[in-house]
Structure 1
Amino acid sequence: MIVRRLARPMLAAIFISGGIGALKQPKAHVEMSEPTLSQISEPLGMSDQKETVIRGYGAAMVAGGTLLALGKFPRLASTVLIGALVPTTATHRFWEESDPGAKQMQQVQFFKNLGLLGGLMLAAVDTEGKPGVTYRAKLAGESIERNAKAARREAKLAALEAKNG
């Protein structure tokens, strides 16, 4: 569908761009993303390697964004981007800002990210009109059940025929 071919690259562009920025200038991203970065890097045992964490984040964004833009593994790519965007959204703590201008900027970024998360969630569940795994599993189960009933019925008929033979 043409909408998917247009929408996926449009949605992916911000992630590719942001990921390249994180790869090129990890120090700037480290400063912008505190204290959320500390909450992520410390459990990983990487509190002294925050630039490495940012580079990994950037690489995930470029990879996920590129796959999404190309329509290759779009559901997986969207899920990866959701995982990268959630901590980014947490860095925009507008409720902690006292300066009205800074608060408004952080609030805009926060809600922009929520909108992107919504788009990614839709992309992550989009089966492109094909039946999803859950539906196919349900059909397979129903098919097995029908076949089992038919086999039991055939066995009963064969037993009756043998008995009346």
Structure 2
Amino acid sequence: MTILRKAARPLLASVFVSGGLRTLRDPDPLTPAAASVALPLAQRVPGLPVDAQRLVRINGALQLGAGLLLATGRLPRISALALAASLVPTTIAGHAWWNAEEPEERARQRLQFTKNLSLFGGLLIAAADTHGKPSLAYRSRAAAASAGRSVRRRASAV
């Protein structure tokens, strides 16, 4: 399973690394579409800049950085969650197929929207991956059960 993780993480991260780099280099093509989602979001979240281009650049930097972390296996769960969170506004702003008027454009945007949903699912799986080790919740339940058995054994011995 380790080989699978070592291959899958960079493959999953590659779209975010290349997209984040492209966005940082040239945010202008994405800024108009992002304004419809970025500005209402910035008004609701204190501290976020109101400038759509700056928000696009921040999103690009987040995707580049978290993509590199995921690809290299450093903080994979946190970076996968960060990428998943950044994918939601990106998908809504960039692939609003329901607003497209031309049938070809509608089909193209629906395909990209669905692709991003697939990436979102993959990121959620990566965020939940514990490298084959039991989760903290499982270990806590097992420790509590073991402690309970130990107490019952000692109580019956008395």
Q: State the TM-score, normalized to the length of structure 2.
A: 0.89
Matched residue, 2:71: 69
- The answer to whether the 8 A contact 2:34-2:56 is kept is no
Count of residue pairs brought into register by the alignment: 155
In the aligned structure 2, how far is the partner of 1:121 from the partner of 1:107? 21
Residue 133 (1) aligns with residue 114 (2): no
CA separation in 2, counterparts of 1:109 and 1:43?
27
1:79 corresponds to which residue? 81
Partner of 2:51: 49
5+ long unaligned stretches in structure 2: none
Q: List runs of 5+ in structure 1 lacking aligned partners.
A: 158-165
Normalised TM-score (structure 1) = 0.85
Alignment match, 1:36:
37
**Aligned 8 A contact 1:30 1:37 in 2:** no
Distance 2:24 2:149 in 1: 55
- Residue 47 of structure 1 and its aligned partner are, at CA, apart by 5.9
CA contact (8 A) 2:49 2:55 kept: no
Q: Report if the CA contact (8 A) 1:74-1:124 is conserved.
A: yes
Helix, strand or coil at the partner of 1:28: coil
Is 1:124 aligned to residue 122 of structure 2?
no
Q: Give RMSD over aligned pairs.
A: 1.7
Deviation string, structure 1 residues 82-104 (Cα, Å, up to 9, x no partner)? 00111112121111211112111
Percent identity for Structure 1 against Structure 2: 35
